[in-house]
Structure formats: structure tokens, C-alpha cells
A and B are shown apart, each in its own frame.
Chain A
Amino acid sequence: MAEKRLKVSASPHIFARQNLKFVMYAVILALMPALFGSIYFYGLRALYLVILSVAAAVVAEAVCQWAYKRPITITDGSAIITGILLAYNLPPGVPYWMPVVGSVFAIVVAKQFFGGLGYNFINPALAGRAFLMASWPVAMTHDWLPPAGGTISGLDGITRATPLNLIKAADVDPSVIERLTSLEGIRALFFGNVGGCLGETSALLLLIGGIALLILKIIDYRITLSYLLTVVVLSLILPIKGHPPYNILFQLFSGGLFLGAFFMATDMVTTPVTKRGRWIFGIGCGIFTMLIRTFGGYPEGVSYSILFMNVWTPFIDRYTMGRRFGTR
């Protein structure tokens, strides 16, 4: 096997028990609670969407690597993660071909065109989402399904909108906002009883997987922490139509923030390698997320803010690189 062959690599030659496969499959396992949650809320349809997305991603990766005459590495799990994350970013009501198209775009254009795993400059799953968002904006912003067990606002089951959509809508009834930002509404957001993308609704289930990854040191706490803290701080400054008390929790638990902060902003390839750079990366993600949520045209800004900071990553890396002693 590949591990048995003699490999010459650059120093430092530190031995780590973690290898690529371990990391990838640990992330996949950590994403499983949210999958069970989405099956509970949206039925088997959610499972089919995830399976289609993963299958398309793996097949696209294999075909691409075969065409490029590279070693075929579909068993390392990275394509599976891309597929799962892309499906988690879709509204549960989208047609079945959509995750397939998105996965193929994510793998072929965002990943393999740039050289495969480790060379992609933006998160492939988010690139796939952005592609779908630009191509089929109606489906991507209207195909919400009401979750099982009803929703807290009552409204987001009928109009099929997400809480962030409702908050953003200009003509929304003030009592709806009241209900969404009440303690009861926050609880629904935390457990996932709201409209939203497949895997993003339940903050609790994402938190379980995310904390497991943090303990295993697979994801870096600096990005997640600085991202979430920035959102907390900014939610104190930027109000939602004058409802301060539960704003912090509402902003934290709604939308795809936990999915983004734990699983997508922490992607090892597209984030800075320096520690200071990671703080900056997380803070940037937080700032742009809140700016888009408050002032932007879209109700949710997690995906675009992470993509935006992905593009900044080489720049951040260059300016936060440690200085060797004795050099300028």
C-alpha cells in the first residue's frame, strides 16, 4: 500500500498518529448526528439527498482523477465530506438532481481543476452551494420544508421560510419576531424545530459533533471560537428590529452558523496555517456573516463570508508568518 512505500518529504519529520483517513472519517462521523436530525425533521427525503450528493461527489472525483491520470483517492473520505456538507447546505425541498449538479461542480471545478485535495483555494462544498445559488436562486431560497413536529413561529411552516428569512422580511408581523426571539423560539432554534437547510437547523446536534472534533484536536478551536465570539459581540451592536435580550442566542443558533463555524470555516486546506492568522480568519468570517445578515440582500451570510475569507487566506498567511530570529 501507499503507506508502506518509502516517502521523502520535507522536514519537520514529526510522527503523528492521525493520518488523512483518520481525520476525514472522524469528520464524517461527527457530521452523522446532524444527518439523523435531518432525517427526523424532513423524512427519508433528507437521506436521499445526502446519498445522491455523496455518490455524485465520489464518482466525480474518481472520473476526474482517472482523466487527469492521477492516483485515484476516493477512499480517503474527502469527497464524501464535500458531498455531505453540500447536501447539508441545501433546502430540503430541492429537486433530486440539484445536489448531483452541485457536487459535480464542487469536485470538478473547485477541487480537481486546481490540483485536487490540498490545492483547492476555496471550500469545495461552499463553492458548490454558491454555484447552485447563482444558477437556481428560486429553488435555493424557496424550497424549504416545514420540519416534523411543527415550527415555533407557526409562520415558517406556512410560508416555508427560515427564521432568518422571516426576520429579514420587511412586512413581517412584529409578533412573529417576538415569538422567534422569545425563550421558546430560541429553544426551537437550538433543537432544530425550524425551517432551514438540511443539516443546519439543529444547533445541538452540530454542537455534539463539533465538540467531539475539538476534543480530538481535528479542528482548530481558534477559528471556531473567534468566529462565534465575533458574532456574539456584533449581535450586541447590530440589532434585529429592536429586540436586544435574546439577540445573541438567536444569532448564534439560527442559520448555518454552527455548521459553518465547526465544519466549514475549519477546513484545513483553505484556512491560514498560522495561529494568529486563524484568529483573524475567524473574526473576518464573523464580521462578514453579521454584516450580510443585517445589511445584505441575502438573509444568511455564513457561506459567503467563509468563501470570502478563503480567498484572503494566502494574504493572511503571508502577513502573519513568524519572523525568524535575526532576519527582517
Chain B
Amino acid sequence: MRWRIFTNGLIRENPVLILMLGLCPTLATSGTARDALGMGIAASFVLISSNIVVAMIRKVVPNEVRIPVFILVISTFVTVVDYVMHAFQPDLHRMLGVFVPLIVVNCIILCRAEAFASKNGIFNSILDALGMGIGFTGAILIMGIVRELLGNGTIFGRIILGEGFHKAPVLFMILPPGAFLLIGILKGLINYFQR
């Protein structure tokens, strides 16, 4: 039962590919595998932390103001992530730019706080957040790897497809339309295999 809460987020209810949540960071920060992984980990940390706190305070928060309270909790952790990333990964911080503060309004995190953590205990909320976080990180990492591989010939900065391809890659995949194309293909594949 509890195991199912964890595995829900991996494939069956994958936040990006099935629930279609958090598409904005998925499309915008999956240009390279490194950006994608950084975004995935940052969002997952915020997701887990906010789920814990929301589950703890769920009985004392009045129903009418719960959304502002959740946002406040989430933005606290986003501030932590923002400062930590700025201090230890300045390059990554510069690449992700405005998308780090925008984790505050990431719909995956708010959705899990609203739909799960505010109705369940702390332990279950952690499991849910872990599953969803890994599901999000996995999906955005797949996007990042494919886009970097085709758009630059590299994965995590290492040349994979040869020097010639690296010099004249399929730039289209690094550009925004490549992200839309790829997420459409991924969604189509998922639908195909679910049937």
C-alpha cells in the first residue's frame, strides 16, 4: 500500500508525462542534461521539504487560507535552494536563471501539497514527494539528454556522437521548438504503450 504511494509518481502518475504538470520548467530548462538534472533535483528538494511541512501543519491551517500558506512554505524552501545553488553552483544558477525562483509556482509542488500532503500523514507525504520528485527528475532528464545529444552531440558536456556532428548538430532540438516536439513524441509513446 505504502509502496504504491511511492511508485505512483514514477510512471503511473508521472507528473510530467501523465498528469501534464510542471511543463514550463520541463520545456524551458531541458536544453542540456546538466540543467535538467539541476532543475529536477532543486524541484524535488522543494517538493519533499514542503510536503513534510504541509503534512505537519495540515490540521492547524484554516481551510480558507490554505493556498497562501502553502505558497509561503514552498517559497521558503525555494529561497533556500536559490541561495545554496547560487553559492555552490554559480554556473548552473546562471543557466537556470529565473526558473529557480519560479519553482515557487511549479504546479507539481502545489498540486502535491494540495492534493496529497494536506490530507495525509508525514510519512506518506514523504513517500509521495519522493516518487513524484524522481518521476519529474526522470522525465526532465530524459528530455535534457535527448535534446543535448541531438542538439549539441554531447551528454553532460562529453562528446558522444563524434566531432563532426558536434560541429553541425541539429540545433533545432536545443531551441524551444525542439522541446515541444520532444515532449509531444514522449507523450505519444507513453499513450501508445499504455494501451
Residues in chain A within 8 A of chain B (CB atoms)? 109, 113, 131, 134-139
Contacts and interface: CB of A to CB of B under 8 A. Distances in A.
B159 interface: no
Contacts of B172: 131, 134-135
Nearest to B181: A109
A136 B171 contact: yes
Contacts of B173: 135
Q: SS class of chain A's interface: helix, strand, loop or mixed? A: helix
A136 B181 contact: no
Contacts of A131: 172
Interface in B159-184: 168-173, 175, 177, 181, 184
Nearest to A134: B172
Contacts of B168: 136, 138-139
Interface residues of B, number: 11
A266 B3 CA distance: 58
18 contacts: A109-B181, A113-B184, A113-B188, A131-B172, A134-B171, A134-B172, A134-B175, A134-B177, A135-B169, A135-B170, A135-B171, A135-B172, A135-B173, A136-B168, A136-B171, A137-B171, A138-B168, A139-B168
Nearest to B178: A134
Contacts of A138: 168
A139 B171 CA distance: 12
Interface centre among A135, A137, A138 (most CB of B within 10 A): A135
Interface in B140-195: 168-173, 175, 177, 181, 184, 188
Nearest to A136: B168
Q: SS class of chain B's interface: helix, strand, loop or mixed? A: helix
Contacts, number: 18
A131 B173 CA distance: 10
Pairs A-B, 5 closest by C-beta atoms: A135-B172, A134-B172, A135-B171, A135-B170, A131-B172
Contacts of B170: 135
Contacts of A113: 184, 188
Contacts of B184: 113
A3 B140 CA distance: 48
Interface centre among A109, A113, A134, A136 (most CB of B within 10 A): A134
A306 to B, nearest CB: 17
Contacts of A137: 171
A131 B175 CA distance: 11
A108 to B, nearest CB: 10
Given A109-B181, A135-B170, A135-B173, 15 more contacts: A113-B184, A113-B188, A131-B172, A134-B171, A134-B172, A134-B175, A134-B177, A135-B169, A135-B171, A135-B172, A136-B168, A136-B171, A137-B171, A138-B168, A139-B168
Nearest to B175: A134
Contacts of A109: 181
A139 B168 CA distance: 9
A93 to B, nearest CB: 14
Nearest to A109: B181
A138 B177 CA distance: 19
A98 to B, nearest CB: 10
Nearest to B170: A135
Interface in B117-135: none
Contacts of B169: 135
B193 to A, nearest CB: 15
Nearest to A139: B168
A58 to B, nearest CB: 22
Nearest to A105: B172
A137 B171 CA distance: 9
Contacts of A135: 169-173
A139 B167 CA distance: 12
A134 B184 CA distance: 19
Nearest to B168: A136
A131 B181 CA distance: 11
Nearest to A133: B172
A313 B73 CA distance: 46
A164 B173 CA distance: 29
A48 B122 CA distance: 67
A134 B171 CA distance: 6
